């Protein structure tokens, strides 16, 4: 499902116009992005949690040159599915 299909599905379920559904979806994405940018987390009970995790610096190998390279430390966004979502998907 891509973004336009998601907007159509939201529009159908909520009886909102596609324009309103897209605005709501964009607002949700912006709010989650801003919270993660500030090292916060967004927890939607029954659905899951969006948060960030630190990845340590490490050594890697360039596959073309076989030379060792340094991979810098980063902060990665992660999503952890909630129990209700896991149960729904597995049943």
* For residues 38-47, average pLDDT: 94
- Average pLDDT, stretch 32-45? 96
Could you tell me the residue ranges of all domains in the chain?
1-38, 41-91
pTM here is 0.80
Rounded average pLDDT over 32-53: 96
Residues 6+ apart with CB under 8 A from 34: none
Query: What percent of the chain lies above the pLDDT cut of 70?
Result: 100
CATH class as words, domain 41-91: few secondary structures
Region label for 82, one of left (φ > 0), alpha (ψ between -120 and 50) or beta (otherwise) = beta
Q: And the tokens for 10?
A: 């939201």
* pLDDT for position 10: 96
């Amino acid at each position: 499902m891509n973004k336009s299909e998601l907007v159509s599905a939201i529009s159908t379920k909520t009886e909102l116009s596609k324009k309103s559904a897209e605005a709501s979806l964009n607002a949700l994405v912006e709010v989650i992005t801003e919270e993660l940018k500030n090292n916060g987390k967004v927890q939607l009970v029954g659905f899951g949690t969006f948060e960030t995790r630190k990845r340590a610096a490490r050594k890697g190998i360039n596959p073309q040159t076989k030379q060792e390279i340094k991979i810098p430390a980063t902060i990665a966004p992660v999503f952890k599915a909630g129990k209700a979502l896991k149960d729904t998907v597995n049943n």
